[in-house]
Structure 1
Amino acid sequence: MAAAARLFRDAADPDSVKMADIAQAAGAGKGTVFRHFTDRIGLVRALVVEETQQLREQVVDGPPPLGPGAPAAERLPVLLGALLDLKLNQLALMLALERTGAGSPYLNPSYDLWHSEVAEMLVDVHGREGADYLAHALLAAVRSDLVGHLTSQGASPEQLHAGLRRLCASVLARGANDVA
């Protein structure tokens, strides 16, 4: 796992990280890697779970503002900012998950957690029905492909964080009855 994490962290292109490279970096046979993870997406998913473990624990059980108890206006930008930092720091790994057909970022337990937490923060402002869609839309703002595109166009992490804070403020400022 450590060898795979290192290769993804150092990769400019997630598609360049092959199972054979991971096996070699780990000093193991390719068959050993496949026995543990079945396929590349299994390995990518395991790495994503490992890389997001601490953040998931903080969101579920940690102190405010990331953990429960803080008002949505404080908690939402902190959570999305933490997800943005995760994508910036682990871009190749997160892109590998998003680019793999059955590995859709929408089909993993971490996404379910992020979505349910964000949606719950939005319920008071937009109602249950509006919160679900807006949670998906807000999470789209920190998708790895978008983060990669924006950074390749010269956007700095500070600019991305500032834009994300403005987006959160805008979504939180609108009430359920403010539909145009």
Structure 2
Amino acid sequence: MVLAAADGLFAESPAPKAVTMDDIAAAAGVGKGTLFRAFGSRDGLLDALFLSRAAPLRAELAREGSRVGPSVPPLDRVLAVLDELALFKLDNRHLAAAREQPGTRLLRSPHYVWTHETLVALIAPIGAEAAESAAYWAHVLLGALRVDLIDELLAAGRSGDAIRRDLEALARRLLDPAARPR
């Protein structure tokens, strides 16, 4: 109930970063203290909301036959996961705009840590160079999914599909030596 109320507020707000715990408590019909006891902070509430929204992707990663499942070849799997993350960001820009603020320790949030660790684990089997640089490359690829960048590209007329294609091209050049210009 609280997460649904928060999600609705963030989605409806023209400035999601301005939604306060007071606003969320009022919309959920609970006291602000209840929110702080349950989530610790506004960022904690946003992290819980992100994790609940990401649950289907987590399940698909383990499911055989899924486009991101364990039987997919390593490079293809990374590309599919990045595409799913891009779709997630495009569909949840309101949450990302609320969470991806300076000073929020985003890189230590449970959602980012899980996403980064997942990408590192998926990149490493691609090859020796990928394994050596997997942690850095995962950060670089996640940086290409920052909501402020996505919003800027969309405002400049780039479509969500074009952003997804560009992300795939970037990942291929980074992860596949054969795709790099000579």
Please state whether the residue corresponding to 1:155 is helix, strand or coil: coil
Tell me which of 105, 130, 133 is aligned to 2:133.
Answer: 130
Whole-Å separation in 2 of the counterparts to 1:42 and 1:114: 16
TM-score by length of 1: 0.84
Is the Cα contact below 8 Å between 2:16 and 2:97 reproduced in 1?
yes
Q: Could you tell me how far 1:79 is from its partner in structure 2?
A: 0.5
Identity of aligned residues (%): 34
Distance 1:129 1:142, change over 3 A: same
Q: Could you tell me how far 1:100 is from its partner in structure 2?
A: 5.3
Q: What letter matches 1:4 in structure 2?
A: A
Q: Could you tell me how far 1:36 is from its partner in structure 2?
A: 2.4
Give unmatched runs, 5+ long, in structure 2.
Answer: none
Please say if 1:48 is aligned against 2:26: no
Is the Cα contact below 8 Å between 1:23 and 1:29 reproduced in 2?
yes
* Count of residues paired in the alignment: 175
Is the Cα contact below 8 Å between 2:17 and 2:99 reproduced in 1?
no
What do the CA deviations read for 1:136-169 (whole angstroms, capped 9, x no partner)?
1111111222212222222211111111121122
Whole-Å separation in 2 of the counterparts to 1:41 and 1:173: 36
Tell me which of 141, 145, 149 is aligned to 1:146.
Answer: 149
The 5-angstrom pairing of residues 1-180 of structure 1 reads 1-59=3-61, 61-63=62-64, 64-99=66-101, 101-104=103-106, 106-123=107-124, 124-125=126-127, 126-174=129-177
Q: Deviating runs (4+, > 6 A) in structure 1?
A: none
Q: Could you tell me how far 1:44 is from its partner in structure 2?
A: 1.3
Distance 1:23 1:113, change over 3 A: closer
RMSD: 2.2
TM-score by length of 2: 0.84
Give unmatched runs, 5+ long, in structure 1.
Answer: none
